[in-house]
Structures are given as C-alpha cells and as structure tokens.
Structure 1
Amino acid sequence: MARPQSDIEAGREQLIDLVMAMIDERGSAALTVAEVAARANMSPANLYRYFDSKEALIEAVAGRWFQPKLDIMEQVVASDLPPRRKMYEFFARRFALMKAEWEADPVAFALHVELGKEHFELIRSYVDLGDHYLAEIIGEAMGEGHFAGLSVDEALSLVNQMVNVYVNIAAMELIMPKLTTDKLARIIDAVFDGLSAQDRGAKAVSGLRAA
C-alpha cells in the first residue's frame, strides 16, 4: 500500500535536513547513499522511496538552499519599486542573506560552495531563473528609457559582469569582508548611469604610447 503523500514529503524533508547537516560537517565529496541511509537508520532501498538517486537528493538540498533567494527575487520583481531601486534590491537582499550565512558559519558556507561547483548542472536552472527575473527588471528599465541602444540580452550580460561578485558565491566567498551593500548601490548607479551603446572615449584610443 502506497504511503500518504504527506508522509513521503515529511520523510524527504527529514532527509534533506540530515544531508545538509552532513555537508556542514565535512562537505559532500564522500557523501554516498549508503552513508546517508545509515545515518537515517534506514536501508538504501528505503531511502530510494524518497529520492530515486543521489543526484535527486543533492538537487533537493540545493533547492532548500536556494529557496529563500528565489523568494527574494520573486518579491522584488513583483514590487512596484522603480527599476533602479528594484535592481539594487534584487541583488542587495540576496547578498545580505548570503553574507549573514557566511558570517554565521564560514566553513559551512565554503562547503556549500564546493557542493555547487561539484553539481553545477543540477543548479543551473536557478542561475537561469535569476537571469530571467533580471531580464524582466531590465525590460522595465528600458521601458523608462534606460540602456538605449542595447538589447535585453546585451544589457543582461553587462549587468551580470558588473555585479558578478555579489551573486557568484564562489567569487563572493574569496572577498566577502570587502563586499558591502553601499558598494553595491554605487555599482547599480554606475549600471544605470553608464550603460550605453555610445562610445564615450574608451574605444576611441587608437594605440598606446610609451611613457
């Protein structure tokens, strides 16, 4: 007889809790289904009732980690803030949350970074979703006359490069103490004030002269 769905979901949540605790202890490099099952006091066969593979389990763990960040993005995009402020909040709120996680336990944060590197294909959808929401904000900004001469994709690429260390957790981890929301605000102002298809001199220099 099949278990009630609520029972299955409760078991899944408990296993996610367990795996996240194991990752916090020593990372995911040696994480196996057999080890997770042993820690959960169940057989591997029983664990597969909840997750049909190790990859599915890791994907669920990633989903748990990313969910608060997704909630922030959805709240900001749905808000009635003007585009410039909306873009700042889109990045600043997620950064503040991740910096708080890093400050609470830098080692655990680093281990989750490694997990993301090892299983990037499993989390690519979250990166793509972030780009989708950012493109919506850029579209709103263009509707108000910003980023003239650029396509949404061009602006998206430029914005991502300019704010990379505030969203790329691997890059962020390396210089976290130097990152602040005040600096991010200046970057967003630079994005809005500086992005233009018109060359203002940077490409006009034909060559370098020796001093």
Structure 2
Amino acid sequence: MSNPERDTRQIIVDTAERFFRDIGYQKTTVADIAKSLRMSPANVYRFFDSKKSINEAVLERYKREQEEAIATIAAEDRSAAERLRDILATSYRLNAARFAGHARMQEMVCAAMEESWDAIIAHIERFDVVLRRVVADGIARGEFRPMEPAHATGCIRTAMIRFMHPLLITQCECIPGPNADEMIAFVLSALEARPQGR
C-alpha cells in the first residue's frame, strides 16, 4: 500500500542524490531540489529540516544496502572464513562502486563526517556487530584461533580501512600495497587456527 508521505520523502532523497552526484553536495541547495520537484523549499522542509538531514537520508540508504548485504552473508550456513571473506569483499565492492573515482560523492561523505559523525559511528558499530558474530562463530568452531572477538573485529576493520573508507579507496589507489583480495587473505591467515605444537 502506498504511503504518500514516505513516497514524497523518497522522491526528495532520489532527487538530492542525483544533484549530489551531478554537481556536488556543496553546490546543491534545498531550493535546487525543490525546483526540480516543482515544489516550494518550504514543502521540502516539511520532510527534512535541513540539507544535512537530506544528506543523512541519502547515506542511510547506502549504509542500509551494505548492512543488509553483509547480514545476509553472515547468516549463511558456510564456514566462518568463507563468510568473513565474502563480507569484506562485498563491503569493498559496494563502497568502490559507489565512491571510487566519484569526487562529488566523496564530497557528500566529507560533509557527513563533519556534520553527522554520530550517524557514521552508528553504522560502524552495526558493521562491527556482524563481523564480531562471524568471528565468534569461527572461534567456537575451531576455525579461528582463540582470541577476544571484539578485539579481532577492531583489528580486521583497521586492517581493511583503505578498502572500506569511501575516501581512502580512491586516495590510496596510487600507494603501493596489496589489493583487496590479498589483504583479505592476509586477515584470514592471521585468524586461522594453528595446529598444536606449531
């Protein structure tokens, strides 16, 4: 069943995303978005109290897409190592497709980091919950060596940051180093349970 208010919010977010991608976050105004939709700025402000809140809604869509994808992988009936590998590879693929080489989309992320840090932290925490569950499962199954899952999760995220952070994906491309698949293999090797006596 259609919900007119939700549909209007969605149309505003779709339009804002297009403007952010085409001309950039800083150059986009609420008036631009309203004019494109043939509505008044005041009408846009009925749904979003600021351009910052529109930006948060655009990024929330991206974050939800990523979080749903990794949660689906985490719930699969496969080894923890396979699931962890696919979670990290999927996160990299989604972020690279959305942000790598897209300076205007990176500008939107920069604005969010300055204006909406709490929303960014909340996303990182939800991401960590999924990783921690898979790591803990791998430890319980004997696939991964004994360790504190929360500590391991923080180490994994830090090791993968150049492949996860929307800004670093592009900025680090010219720096020599492993590619995403090589880094994921390194992370999995660090977690792997070692036979007794080694």
TM range, normalised to the smaller chain? 0.7 to 0.9
- Displacement of 1:91 in angstroms is 0.8
- In the alignment, what sits opposite 2:18? 21
Aligned match of 1:114 = 107
Partners of 2:80 and 2:138 within 8 A in 1: yes
Paired residue total: 188
* Displacement of 1:100: 3.6
Deviation per residue, 1:27-67 (Å, 9 max, x gap):
11233323322232211211122223323211111112223
Superposed CA deviations along residues 121-143 of structure 1, whole A, max 9, x for unmatched, are 13332122111111111111221
Distance 1:100 1:190 in 2: 27
Q: Shift of residue 181 of structure 1?
A: 4.8
Structure 1 residues 169 and 193: alpha-carbon distance in aligned structure 2, compared to 1, 3 A threshold: same
After TM superposition, the score normalised by the length of structure 2 is 0.81
Aligned pair in 2 of structure 1 residues 94, 157: CA closer, same or farther (>3 Å)?
closer
Residue deviations 1:175-203, cap 9 Å, x none? 348774532442233332389xxxx9xxx
Aligned partner of 2:4 in structure 1 is 7
Aligned to 2:82: 85
TM-score of the aligned structures, taking structure 1 as reference length: 0.77
Deviations 1:54-96 (A, max 9, x none): 2321111111222321221111111112111111011112222
Aligned counterparts of 1:118 and 1:102: Cα–Cα separation in 2: 14
* Unaligned stretches of 5+ residues in structure 1: 201-211
- Conserved? CA contact 2:74–2:87, under 8 Å: yes
Over 3 Å counting, the alpha-carbon distance change for 1:21 and 1:179 in structure 2 is: farther
Q: Indicate the RMSD between aligned Cα atoms, in angstroms.
A: 2.6
Choose 1 or 2 for highest CA Rg. 1
Structure 2 unaligned residues grouped into runs of 5+: none
